[in-house]
Structure 1
């Protein structure tokens, strides 16, 4: 995917079905409204579901330990099918482990601990979550077919130059392998491990390949809609922890923990207020807007206002381009603007870099995670960046 430039930029809503590259507008994402009524994209035909494969049919390469890894200490991490099974289970339970690749790392551990917290199990305990994963995910792999709708979302000639991108109708995937990797919450490297380099690089519509058996991210269902406030979801609270690179969504603003006997043993209790957690990448320290903010808007398929001066200095210029929407846009396929100017939670063109490289000031998430946020939180909710 394209190199992540970082983001402290302006977003405008898509108000037509990608008819033309829209003009640059002097707008603030905190309070903008569409220029016109949205023209929804016609729904695409439903793609065939992936066919689960029997356990043991897929052989995974041995994962070599990385002495430089920053993975927290936790029991004996699973390997092989069980590693993929655990990641799929956590992903489907809305405790995102990051890229599903059979290599559990820091984000998998954070997801395990979030799941344990909700279910009242000790931190860093793997026994309960692995038992649940083996029951819920008997078949961790599936055989998937590249749907015909992929032709609308793949452009093998998409330029890397911003001036050329501004003339495109959308920021498409650059290959069918990239389309399928994001669809199944993984990366191209893992698809190559499961299949072969020749098969993944030569992939075309109607072709098949082995994928993680996860509920797919259906980009064809996005139509440029904006999300309205919903009372229950607008009353929720999201904590964005820039120290551990995780966003947590709670039913309401968390209350302080009061310990009756500080000298006594700590009793683990289920935290039912935690409803979901996802990996994030925060902005650079000098650009992060710490504090408590309000979510002001949420829109699918945003247009990105590319202003190099704004990215470099924080000062807006008149020399800007509107980069069209799509999965290879630096803001991904969803934008959720906050009440602080120019800052929002959004998708990314580089899911494999989540937690590793920083943007200018916004909060990035993998597209498959970002598109699930409106199921848990809506405009009006409080967002704490800490």
Structure 2
């Protein structure tokens, strides 16, 4: 067929086909429902295909922490989250991955920097305030009577230890300080009451005259005796022995007391320093190394505080005491007596179990009948230490040792 004829035929044929297509025969209702159903299925299939295509290249989400710990058995009625580690984590080889983060939940509130040690494993760092006080004492640094409380005297003792060890002087028992304060022996020991202990006990006279007439100014109770043996406050000894009837302690009874002793003296003290503001006494060797540190009571009246350099004039263990009424103007009995009295030795003697006389008349360093009050009460002019500290200082000084009293 010629090309021109095809073009003429194309001009008219589409009109007839278009008109016929726009006027289809009416369809039954059932045919229309069938077509709509298939259309809906096609749409859903398209949506599903699009969703699969969008998600197939995305990375899988990390397993949430709850799934990682799904094996952890629960502890009933504990009230706190518990993490039970059944297997230690394997080390990462090659170092290309960051270390796994440790779980922070625990059954007790223990600092992450302070590992928990078996109480019967030694050496180990101290674990509480009492053990810190004990470890300090074993290093020759006294925090006063053991009471298990971190007060001003304990903080001062910690600072003294930190200064000696070249640590930051924070006064706090931080992890580094505890690491240096190693306990080499158990913190407590058993003490068995003996018949000799019971024989020492006697009531203490209530007047100066009555005390001067006693054979000794010894302990009044077993509680007082074992408290001084353990360098402890009597109430702390009671806490260690809750089942003991202290009104009826007999020979053979075993008591728990602090296991304390001072280190052997490695050198004599070249000098001692009394800090009035801090109420402390410290002894140093010839190289200015700290040998000992003690809390100290000072004179109540400023004019009675002899600032400057003094020297040890006499050392006397277990001394008697000369009572001079002129030193106690506030005592009505002293004013009525009008004469001096000689009081016998003993831990309840006014100067305790040790006297270190200084080269200024009437002044000295000594013990006390009330060691738990040292540093908290004031004296008539002398420098008071706990009996056990006065005894230890007695081993460090000699006649002529300088004692510098500073503000």
C-alpha displacement of 1:312: 2.3
1:153 aligns with 2:200: yes
Partner Cα separation in structure 1 for residue 223 and residue 243 of structure 2: 10
Residues 385 and 152 (structure 1), Cα distance of their counterparts in 2 relative to 1, 3 Å cut: farther
- Count of aligned positions: 277
Where does residue 284 of structure 2 map in the other structure? 250
Q: Is 1:121 matched with 2:167?
A: yes
> Structure 1: how far apart are the matches of 2:229 and 2:185?
20
**Contact 2:271 2:402 survives alignment (8 Å):** yes
Aligned to 2:239: 193
Q: Which residue of 2 aligns with 1:331?
A: 351
Shift of 1:158: 2.5
SS in 2 for 1:289: coil
Instruction: Say which structure, 1 or 2, has more relative contact order (CA 8 Å, 6+ apart).
Output: 1
The Cα RMSD (Å) is 2.8
**What is the aligned partner in structure 1 of residue 371 from structure 2?**
351
Paired with 1:323 and 1:114, the residues of 2 have a C-alpha distance of: 36
* Contact 1:84/1:212 (<8 A) preserved: no
2:346 aligned counterpart, secondary structure: coil
Is residue 282 of structure 1 aligned with residue 298 of structure 2?
Answer: yes
Change (3 A) 1:92 1:216: closer
2:119 aligns to what?
Answer: 55
Q: Which TM-score applies when normalising by structure 1? A: 0.66
Shift of residue 272 of structure 1? 5.6
Q: Is the 8 A contact 2:317 2:394 kept in 1?
A: no
Aligned to 1:233: 268
Match of 1:17 in 2: none
Q: Which runs of 5+ in 1 are unaligned?
A: 1-53, 57-77, 218-229, 253-270
Please report the TM-score for the alignment, with normalisation by the length of structure 2. Answer: 0.63
Q: Which residue number corresponds to residue 131 of structure 1?
A: 179
Q: 1:273 aligns with which of 261, 284, 289?
A: 289
The aligned residue for residue 82 of structure 1 is: 128
Deviation at 1:333, TM superposition (A): 0.5
Equivalent of 2:318, from 272, 292, 301? Answer: 301
Q: Give 1:108's match in structure 2, choosing from 154, 158, 161.
A: 154
Cα 1:190–1:381 shift into 2, 3 Å: same
Equivalent position of 1:340 in the other structure: 360
Kindly indicate which of the two structures has a greater share of residues assigned to helix. Answer: 2
2: distance between equivalents of 1:309 and 1:200?
39
Partner secondary structure for residue 369 of structure 1: helix
- Paired residues of 1:154 and 1:175 also in contact (CA < 8 A): yes
Bigger drift between 236-245 and 284-293 goes to 284-293
Secondary structure of 1:201 counterpart: coil
How far apart are 1:213 and its partner, in Å?
1.9
Q: 1:197 to 1:302 in 2, by over 3 A?
A: farther
| Deviation string, structure 1 residues 9-33 (Cα, Å, up to 9, x no partner) | xxxxxxxxxxxxxxxxxxxxxxxxx
Superposed displacement of residue 340, structure 1: 0.3
Kept in 1, the 8 Å contact 2:343–2:349? The answer is yes
Aligned counterparts of 2:284 and 2:244: Cα–Cα separation in 1: 44
Unmatched 5+ stretches in structure 2: 1-117
Shift of 1:178: 0.5
- Where 1:185 maps in the other structure, the secondary structure is coil
Alignment of 1:205-216 (within 5 A): 205-215=251-261
Question: Aligned equivalents of 1:119 and 1:216: distance in 2?
Answer: 18
The alpha-carbon deviation at position 168 of structure 1 amounts to 0.9
Counterpart Cα distance in 2 of 1:171 and 1:330: 9
CA distance in 2, matches of 1:199, 1:128: 41
